[in-house]
Every structure is written in C-alpha cells, then in structure tokens.
Amino acid sequence: MSRVTKSQLPEGIPMTVFPQLEIPETLAAGPGPGNTDPRVLERFAKTGVADHMQADVLRGMIEAKLMLRELWGTKNAYTYGVAGTGFSGLDCVLSLILPGDKVVAFPNGTFSGIDSLTIRMKASTAEELAADSLNPKPASVTVVETPHGQSVTGEAVDAALAKHKPMWAFMAHWETGSGRVNDVKGFSDACLKHGVMGIVDAVSSLGVGDFNIDDYPGVVAWASCPQKGVLSLPLTYAPVSFTDKAIEMVKKRGCRTYVHHPILDARHWGIIDGKDVDAPGYHQTHSCYAVAAFHEALRIILGYGRARKASDYKYHEAALRQAVEAMGCEVTSDMPSLVVLNLPGKLAGREKELVQAARAKGFGIWPTLSEPVQVRIGILNQLSPEQITEIASRFADGMLAMGAEFDKAQVLNQLKSYYAKAA
C-alpha cells in the first residue's frame, strides 16, 4: 500500500490541512434561510448511517411524501422532494419546458428574475442558446416585468396570456426579493381561461401561508425549498408537486434531465406509474440524515398546524412592521414572513452599510439583491413576542449607531403594548 507523502506531490503544490471549520450561531433574520429547529438538527445528527435502500430510510421518504401532500394541500400523486435547494426543485418543474416552447413569464423581483433566466435557457433552441449562452433571449419566451415593489395582478396575467397564447405561464407566488405577494388565484384563473399550463415558484410561501394548491387548477407544477417556511436547512429537499396533466406532458414529450426528471425522481419516493407503491426504486443516493431531518421538519409544521402557523406569521409581521415604522422606516412589502423597507431620509443610501454592520455582529438581515437597494428583515421561525422584540431591538441599535433619531424605549414600549393588547 502506498501513501502519498508531501515529497511525492508535484513540485509547487503545497499540502494544506486547515483547522476545523467553526461557524458561529447567528440570528437568521433575513428572507431565508430560517432558523433551523433544534429537533431537525437532532434528527440529522442522531440518525445512524444507513444506505438509501434501507427499510427505514425508504419508509421515511414515503411518510415524508404523505406529509408533503398534506402541507401542499393536494391529492397530486407526483408530490415529493427534490434533493438540494429551492432552485433544484425549480429546475425539476421548469424541465417541463422544452426548446421552442412558447412561454410567458411574470417576474417582479430577484428570484422570479432568475426563474425567468432558467426558462429562457430551457426554451432556447440550440442556436438561440449559442448566441448568448449565459443570457439567452429565445423568440418563444415573453417576459412581462412588474416593477420591484409591486405585485403581479390577475389582470396583467389575463391580458398577456390573451395576447401571446403561450403553452406555459410562470410566476412566483411570493417574490422574496421585493417581499410581494402575487395573485395566484388570478394567475390560475387566467391559465384556465386561455388553456395555458401554469408553473409557480412557491419557495417562500410553503410552510408560511395557508393554501391548498388543488384550489388553483390552472397551475400544473409547483416548487418550493427546504430552507424557508419548511425550515429544514440541513441540505434536504425542495418540495415539488405536479398534476397528472403535467406528468402526461412529460411522458409524451420527454424531458432533458435524468436527476431532475419529474417521473424518474419520483420513483425513490414510492411513486411509480402514477401510483403509490411500497417498494420504491433507486434514483440517486439519498442521505439518511437528510431524510430524517426533512421528515422531522414536516412533523413540526403539521403538528403546529398550517393555519395556526400562517396566522402567527401575520400577527408577528404586523408587530415588526409597526416597530420599524415607529423608527421612521417605510415598509413596501406585503409578505407575512418578511419586512422590506426604505430607511428614513437621513439614512437613505446607507442601507448596505447598515446591513453589513448588523451582519458583522451576527444579526443576519439582508439588503435587496437587485435595484432599488432596500433592507429586508425576516421572521422565519421567530414566532414569539420575545424573538420579535429581540429583532426590533437589534435593528434599532443598528439604526441609532448610524445616527437615526428616535426613542428606542418608546418603540419597544409600543411593541409591548401591541402584544399586551392582543393577549
């Protein structure tokens, strides 16, 4: 047996072993990821090593699938998790789109903008992709932009679908970049009216809002993520759901991916030929740790109750909104898990500086990632008066350190009376 020693490495290649990686605990007060529940981390760490075809791992995946149908509010057989992050699930649902397909996309911020780029890549012909491979502009895709800070309306979708008569339409349910809730009912209705198949990015609404996707039959495919409302960051699964109509399209036309193939990926979750089976088939090497963590995250949400969770988010968002307004900020978002704001006149233009100073202290707030620059403060898994007060207090400190003028004690007292009144 030979061992590689330093002397055997080619000249000029240093052999370096770095110290163990330490990452501190921070307060995740941004749009995502959310603060992981200790129960999820415990399942992750306490799970024994077992391969991806071991009976309890497979049972965990089948149970997770059944819990996911509950969370999504659907009877769709093709409901499961795509290994990876939100964009892994989006890649899976957007793989329905083939080169040359006619699509209308309705972005209104950073994430739906990236989704629109994915759509343009998938819908491009070989020539269109080669012409500008990182930013293709296929003739078959129409992008209807709604300005940052505004929501996509059902009327706008209806008008564009009437005009362009596409095969597919795409929208984000809640656009996390600008913190806006889009009209998913209007979108679904317009899709039905014009015979279009809708695809929705529900990355930041699943696990925060209370909705049943089966109430929106114009939408044939949905994708979410592990790290926002589902609160299972230990890299787990992006929930997806397809109607039978979407799966029929894939069966008929195919799709250019193995790992994110809507039909093939479903096999490992015990979904074969549109039916639940007890004996799943291999698709890829799923992690027993990820399965256990994801399973626990779903148990937590369903145990808490989807409706109760949604109303708690609204209640605490309103508290934080009031507090930052009392500090002189202007809130432009309408999402229940996130506050997107403009700083008061005196501090305007210093958003990134404020965010950086907060982050350096382990208070993880965010700026917007595309223009205009605003501050984003999120409350994922922070559903108690104490946690909201901590977020408000740390944000107040950051603003005061930059010269803002307000009375912090008064702001916190007002927050206290909001909670006292409600109790």
Closer of 30 and 398 to ligand PLP (Cβ): 30
Closer of 32 and 209 to ligand PLP (Cβ): 32
Burial (Cβ within 10 Å: 0-12, 13-18, ≥19) of residue 397: middle
Asked whether 309 and 301 are in contact (CB, 8 A), the reply is: yes
CB of 87 to ligand PLP, least distance (A): 4
Closer of 168 and 222 to ligand PLP (Cβ): 222
Residue 212 CA to residue 367 CA, distance in Å, equals 31
CB of 178 to ligand PLP, least distance (A): 10
CB of 33 to ligand PLP, least distance (A): 8
CB of 88 to ligand PLP, least distance (A): 7
Closer of 111 and 418 to ligand PLP (Cβ): 111
Closer of 128 and 183 to ligand PLP (Cβ): 183
Strand order, beta sheet including 78-83: 78-83, 237-242, 219-223, 197-201, 168-172, 103-106, 141-143
Pairing of strands 27-28, 363-364: parallel
Q: Which residues contact 47 (CB under 8 A, 6 or more apart)?
A: 288, 289, 292, 293
Q: Is the peptide bond before 372 cis (omega within 30 degrees of 0)?
A: yes
CB of 185 to ligand PLP, least distance (A): 18
Q: Which residue's Cβ lies closest to ligand PLP?
A: 86
Asked whether 422 and 315 are in contact (CB, 8 A), the reply is: yes
Burial (Cβ within 10 Å: 0-12, 13-18, ≥19) of residue 217: middle
| Tokens linked to 139 | 């003739």
Closer of 33 and 328 to ligand PLP (Cβ): 33
CB of 287 to ligand PLP, least distance (A): 17
CB of 97 to ligand PLP, least distance (A): 17
What sign does the CA torsion over 59, 64, 70, 76 have? Answer: negative
CB of 202 to ligand PLP, least distance (A): 8
Residue 300 CA to residue 145 CA, distance in Å, equals 37
Closer of 78 and 111 to ligand PLP (Cβ): 111
Contact footprint for ligand PLP (CB under 6 A): 32, 85-87, 111, 172, 175-176, 201, 203-204, 225, 227
CB of 359 to ligand PLP, least distance (A): 17
Q: Minimal CA–CA distance to 101: which of 320, 305, 240, 256?
A: 256
Pairing of strands 78-83, 237-242: antiparallel
Closer of 178 and 280 to ligand PLP (Cβ): 178
Closer of 85 and 381 to ligand PLP (Cβ): 85
Residue 71 CA to residue 382 CA, distance in Å, equals 20
190-199: b (≥16 Cβ within 10 Å) or e? bbeebebbbb
| Residue 18: Cβ within 10 Å count | 5
What are the strands, taking DSSP E only, across 184-332? 197-201, 219-223, 237-242, 271-272, 275-276, 330-331
Q: Is the peptide bond before 33 cis (omega within 30 degrees of 0)?
A: yes
Closer of 88 and 140 to ligand PLP (Cβ): 88
CB of 126 to ligand PLP, least distance (A): 27
Q: If you count them, how many residues does the chain have? A: 423
Residue 306 CA to residue 209 CA, distance in Å, equals 8
Closer of 74 and 204 to ligand PLP (Cβ): 204
CB of 364 to ligand PLP, least distance (A): 14
